[in-house]
Structure 1
Amino acid sequence: MQASPEREIVTVTTTVGSRSEAEALAHAILEAGLAACVQLEEGLTSYYRWEGKAQQDAEVRLTIKTLASALPGLQALLGDKHPYDLPQFVAWPGQGSAAYADWVRAAVRPAAPGRTPAR
């Protein structure tokens, strides 16, 4: 696949502790126009250090398909609505097929600079 700006999409991941929390975030993200798709993956176990102690928790991963222009609004929404004190926000660019990238561009409606996304 040849890299082109027209095919650029961004994938963001975050995790939460339950299916209901994941569903609530997914709906909020889509309602705000900040992603074309949010996939939920259950059955994960995260091992991490928090406040100096080793932790282990069951989590649900959200994989969010969006555009670079929506990242500030998405990060703000997660900061506001995410149940964790420090939400995971990991984003990486990618290339989709022309048709898929067109669909993502048509579905994502990030707020204009200086405006808060719809909630």
Structure 2
Amino acid sequence: MNILRNSLAVVAVSALLGLTAACGSGKATVCKEAVEALTGYSSKVAGAAADVEGFNTATGKLATQFKDLSGKADGDLKVALAGMADSWGSFKLDLSDPNAATKLVEFGQKAQQSSQQLASACS
């Protein structure tokens, strides 16, 4: 569990670092809120330890935050946030699934791609 949780936290932190560098332009408020959402998520995931349900709840809430933020945006920023909402919303950690590690890698790739889109849209 710790390896999976830590891997996902790394995805969140890498997205956060990309966004922190990219915040600018007239979209700054929405981009700042996206950074704050990722920061809060990283803290919750770090505190979840072996609590899979807490981890999944935090991930679902982050997806909802991205969806709400996409409603405040337009253009590339809206598309990027909607993509992040879809990526984070589709991920549920299930330790009984023998393919959990593979799913985490796939999710990490999707999350990283959507985070890069967001960073680009915020620049």
Flag whether TM exceeds 0.5 (same fold).
no
Higher RCO, 1 or 2 (CA under 8 Å, sep at least 6)?
Answer: 1
Whose Rg is larger?
Answer: 1
TM-score by length of 1: 0.32
| Structure with greater helix share of residues | 2
TM-score by length of 2: 0.31
